[in-house]
């Protein structure tokens, strides 16, 4: 484990590699404890590098067995070797071949980086710097090589052998019980995209023909006995390929596309060229074991990893500072895919909820960083919501600014100009400048500065002139007074008492139907509408057109006008969110909010009467109040999670009681007839979502009735979505029925680890004083294993990230529990331990007692001897003590 203090890596210090590797021939002889890797590297000096520079190959915990240069063994004086590096002080100043043999123990690799074993299956994870745990290499994304990989193993132990690219030869090794398979990838790639898999796996497959006429064999590999659960993932692969051809003109470029599901994986999935390796929770699905949310996640993540074939693989990033170039862009692409597969409004609301829940707090805390960071100490800690989700929002804003036609042309230009290269943000924007004619230098500020801009808006109606003026003012908290403004596209419209005011126009902006796009690129600006017959309600930032916080004084009655009449689905939902947030914040300030709550209940009732059965998925989202974390983020300082919980629960009880007759009617209307087959399609999932939301509201208003309904639903459910919804509702109602239901669920799914992950998470999120001890007990349950990232995330991650009252307990017990888990896990899997640490990201905004307890937990972690670089970096930045803070 790397425990040394790492050097700070800075973007401004980037220089090309002194050497390039054009071709890599790997021979990997798999063995559980004694794997041998022979790498033949075709190396040459880089004309853009430093003449005569030493060759320094990266390593991480490697053991060198042999080293040859052009077929001759190197003398000991000709090189220096350590587990972390192999150096040739005076390499040839010409092309040469270096042959490196290393020895690995995949079974002992608990970090799950490099080559390791998962349930007996050999697999790899090389992003960001895992390839250096396999062989000594120039492990950086701007060194691209063509790979040929020979994989050898005992056939009984690993009958399936997979690598990058196309399979060019396979066979048995005469006189042994071993066999081999050779894979060739003709497309140059960086080392982080290398992959291999070997093990006993079942397979499902299907043919696919690309727009260019290439025949491709699609296959999904899973643990034995689980093939029937891979059908949805296989279908998602085919739909992703078709969509990328139709929307972005991107065909696939190999003869096979393989997906492998493994049970031990630090991340969600990995886009290795032609061989995507997945956390099995994002592949395996059946009605009995997966929820509607699981199906949607499988669809989205399958698409995300496939879309990387162009945005990440064919065009990769020059250095890790450009990570947003592949991840933010690909998140945008997978969001568009999911929106086309499902409901665009519903999916957009989900995207924004994720952004606000994860990225907005990150931008406001000690771990804030630009979308393109300027420096880092541990790159694995920068796979963040800022890089992914905010990076996607920047791409979306770019499309809004230049229009869909120019955006598609710019994407085509970006791919064609940079195919087979390692690109930068500047390369990306240059393509859109060339196709649109826009100067994007000012827009590029979004990549360079942390923080979420605030936009203050005020409206002014002139009755005599029949005009309406909107004044905008943007600021960025924490930015200096001389910080330039950013370019903010504001999609907006005006709503009257009966709907959009189509006749209102503004000479400052071009109308597109009932809305226009106003570009706020100065600190202050205004837009004036003419022909406005009466004071309107502005529909601002339609579709959430920019990742900003909006401050505007709007009466609840006007927001409810938006809920009733706005044609923008996002802003209809947002109107309900803002009314609910104002009521809860008023309660926190001691205001009497009863009348407002009753008016809100009436508006929600009217909305349900109108929309519940027409668009149940959207109705379920409108009913969902802002979360406790949303409210905390809005309050911003001196946060008391218990007070927030109390205020939110009080509003839910009042609204639930008022809406109870409608909620019962909704449940009855959406009940599926007996024998209805399960379908994960968007319409069916939407009906289940609203019916289960109604159950939750009923239980809040009347716990006894809710417990009875939840128990009955658990007993009669024919799919995991409904069964888990019933259990989730019952888990919030203390008493014997809850404990009995939890025990019965665990017994029923004792052999289903992914289902038991849901069981662990439900209990970790119970907002009661006994949950800390419950989590401690569950850490000793047979269903939990500290060695499996899914188990850790389900139990401890859910507690830390989704249970604000108990993680942030005033006595510090929640912080202590997570700190203990982090320190225990850091010894075996620092990457997962560091990600748990991000739960402390908002600790400085807590009230003093909790703030003191969180500070003590962080300092305890940071003071621990032998701490990994991963955890030390997060703890240090959280405290403001890090070199990269």
Instruction: Burial-class residue 793 by CB neighbours within 10 Å (0-12, 13-18, 19+).
Output: buried
Best CA proximity match to 23, nearest among 163, 168, 184? 184
Collapsing DSSP to helix, strand or coil, 471 comes out as: strand
Collapsing DSSP to helix, strand or coil, 36 comes out as: strand
Q: Strand (E) positions, 407-523? A: 421-423, 454-462, 467-475, 488-496, 499-500, 511-512, 515-520
DSSP 212-230: T--EEEEEEEESTT-GGGG
Structure tokens at 324: 């947003």
Collapsing DSSP to helix, strand or coil, 620 comes out as: helix
Q: Residue 63: count other Cβ atoms within 10 Å of its Cβ.
A: 12
Structure tokens at 532: 């406005």
Collapsing DSSP to helix, strand or coil, 530 comes out as: strand
Best CA proximity match to 783, nearest among 815, 761, 798, 806? 761
Q: What is residue 678's DSSP assignment?
A: P
The dihedral built from the CA positions of residue 54, 58, 60 and 61, taken in this order, carries a sign that is negative
The arrangement of strands across the sheet holding 35-45 comes to: 72-73, 63-69, 96-104, 35-45, 19-29, 145-154, 178-189, 166-172
Cα–Cα distance between 462 and 472 in angstroms, integer?
18
Number of H-type helices and E-type strands within the chain: 29, 33
Q: Residue 668: count other Cβ atoms within 10 Å of its Cβ.
A: 10
Are 483 and 453 in contact by the 8 Å Cβ rule? The answer is no
Are 324 and 447 in contact by the 8 Å Cβ rule? The answer is yes
Cα–Cα distance between 820 and 564 in angstroms, integer?
50
Are 116 and 47 in contact by the 8 Å Cβ rule? The answer is no
What backbone phi and psi angles, to 5 degrees, belong to 871? -75, -40
Q: What is residue 111's DSSP assignment?
A: T
Best CA proximity match to 114, nearest among 59, 188, 159? 59
Are 625 and 656 in contact by the 8 Å Cβ rule? The answer is no
Best CA proximity match to 680, nearest among 208, 246, 231, 349? 231
In the chain, the N- to C-terminal Cα span, in Å, equals 23
Best CA proximity match to 474, nearest among 485, 465, 484? 485
Task: Please state the length of the chain.
Answer: 885
What backbone phi and psi angles, to 5 degrees, belong to 172? -95, 155
Catalytic residue status for 305: yes
Place of tokens 């770019």: 398
Cα–Cα distance between 487 and 510 in angstroms, integer?
17
Annotated active-site residue in 305, 362, 435, 515? 305
- Give me the active site residues, please: 305
């Amino acid at each position: 484990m790397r425990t040394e203090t790492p050097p700070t890596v800075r973007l401004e210090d980037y220089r090309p590699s002194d050497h390039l590797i054009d071709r890599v021939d790997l021979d990997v002889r798999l063995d559980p404890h004694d794997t041998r890797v022979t790498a033949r590297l075709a190396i040459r000096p880089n004309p853009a590098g430093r003449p005569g520079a030493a060759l320094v190959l990266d390593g991480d915990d490697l053991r060198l067995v042999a080293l040859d240069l052009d077929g001759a063994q190197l003398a000991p004086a000709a090189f220096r070797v350590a587990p972390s590096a192999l150096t040739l002080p005076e390499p040839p100043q010409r092309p040469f071949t270096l042959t490196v043999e290393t020895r690995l123990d995949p079974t002992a690799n608990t970090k799950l980086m490099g080559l390791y074993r998962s349930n007996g299956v050999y697999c790899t994870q090389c992003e960001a710097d895992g390839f250096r745990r396999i062989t000594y290499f120039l492990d950086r994304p701007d060194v691209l090589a063509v790979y040929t990989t020979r994989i050898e193993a005992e056939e009984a132990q690993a009958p399936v052998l997979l690598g990058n690219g196309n399979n060019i030869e396979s066979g048995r090794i005469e006189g042994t019980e071993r066999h081999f398979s050779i894979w060739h990838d003709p497309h140059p790639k960086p080392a982080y995209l290398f992959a291999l898999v070997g093990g006993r796996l079942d397979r499902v497959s299907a043919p696919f023909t690309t727009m260019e006429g290439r025949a491709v064999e699609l296959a999904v590999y899973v643990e034995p006995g689980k093939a029937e659960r891979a059908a949805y993932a296989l279908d998602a692969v085919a739909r992703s390929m078709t969509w990328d051809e139709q929307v972005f003109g991107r065909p696939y470029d190999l003869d096979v596309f393989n997906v492998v599901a493994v049970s031990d994986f630090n991340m969600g999935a990995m886009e290795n060229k032609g061989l995507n390796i997945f956390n099995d929770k994002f592949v395996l699905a059946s009605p009995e074991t997966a929820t509607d949310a699981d199906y949607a996640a499988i669809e989205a993540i399958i698409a995300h990893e496939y879309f990387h074939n162009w945005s990440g693989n064919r065009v990769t990033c020059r250095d890790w500072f450009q990570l947003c170039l592949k991840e933010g862009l690909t998140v945008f692409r997978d969001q568009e895919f999911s929106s086309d597969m499902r409901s665009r409004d519903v999916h957009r609301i989900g995207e924004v909820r994720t952004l606000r829940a994860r990225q907005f707090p990150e931008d406001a805390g000690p771990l804030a960083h630009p979308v393109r960071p300027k420096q880092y100490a541990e790159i694995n800690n920068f796979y963040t919501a800022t890089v992914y989700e905010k990076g996607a929002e920047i791409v979306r804003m770019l499309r809004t600014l230049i229009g869909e036609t120019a955006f598609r042309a710019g994407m085509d230009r970006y791919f064609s100009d940079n195919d087979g290269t390692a690109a930068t943000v500047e390369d990306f924007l240059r393509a859109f400048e060339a196709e649109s004619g826009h100067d994007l230098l000012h827009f590029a500020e979004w990549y360079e500065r942390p923080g979420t801009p605030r936009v203050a808006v005020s409206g002014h109606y002139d009755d005599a002139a029949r005009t309406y003026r909107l004044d905008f003012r943007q600021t960025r908290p924490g930015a200096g007074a001389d910080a330039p403004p950013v370019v903010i596209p504001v999609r907006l419209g005006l709503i009257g008492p009966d709907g959009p005011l189509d006749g209102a126009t503004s000479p400052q902006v071009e109308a597109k139907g009932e809305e226009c796009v106003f570009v706020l690129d100065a600190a202050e600006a205004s837009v004036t509408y003419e022909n406005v017959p009466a004071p309107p309600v502005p529909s601002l930032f339609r579709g959430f057109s920019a990742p900003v916080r909006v401050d505007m004084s709007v009466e609840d009655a006007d927001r409810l006008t938006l809920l009733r009449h706005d044609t923008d689905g996002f802003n209809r939902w947002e109107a309900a969110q803002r009314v609910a947030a104002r009521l809860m914040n008023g309660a926190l300030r001691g205001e009497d909010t009863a009348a407002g709550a009753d008016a809100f209940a009436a508006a929600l009732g009217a909305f349900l009467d109108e929309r519940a059965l027409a668009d149940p998925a959207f109705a379920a989202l409108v009913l969902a109040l802002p979360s406790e974390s949303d409210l905390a983020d809005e309050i911003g300082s001196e946060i008391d999670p218990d007070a927030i919980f109390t205020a939110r629960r009080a509003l839910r009880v009042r609204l639930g009681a008022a809406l109870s007759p409608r909620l019962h009617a909704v449940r009855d209307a959406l009940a599926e007839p007996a024998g209805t087959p399960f379908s994960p399609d968007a319409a069916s999932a939407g009906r289940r979502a609203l019916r289960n939301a109604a159950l939750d509201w009923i239980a809040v208003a009347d716990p006894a009735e809710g417990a009875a309904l939840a128990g009955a639903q658990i007993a009669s459910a024919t799919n995991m979505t409904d069964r888990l919804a019933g259990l989730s509702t019952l888990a919030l109602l203390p008493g014997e029925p809850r404990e009995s239901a939890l025990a019965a669920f665990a017994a029923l799914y004792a052999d289903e680890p992914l289902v038991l992950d849901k069981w662990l998470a439900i209990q970790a999120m119970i907002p009661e004083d006994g949950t800390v001890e419950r989590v401690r007990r569950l850490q000793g349950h047979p269903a939990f294993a500290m060695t499996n990232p899914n188990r850790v995330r389900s139990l401890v991650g859910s507690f830390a990230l989704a249970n604000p009252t108990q993680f942030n307990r005033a006595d510090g017990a929640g912080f202590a529990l997570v700190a203990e888990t982090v320190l225990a896990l850091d010894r075996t899997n620092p990457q997962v331990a560091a990600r748990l640490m991000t739960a402390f990201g908002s600790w400085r905004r807590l009230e003093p007692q909790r703030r003191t307890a969180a500070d003590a937990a962080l300092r305890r972690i940071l003071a621990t001897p032998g701490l990994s670089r991963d955890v030390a970096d997060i703890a240090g930045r959280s405290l403001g003590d890090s070199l990269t803070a």
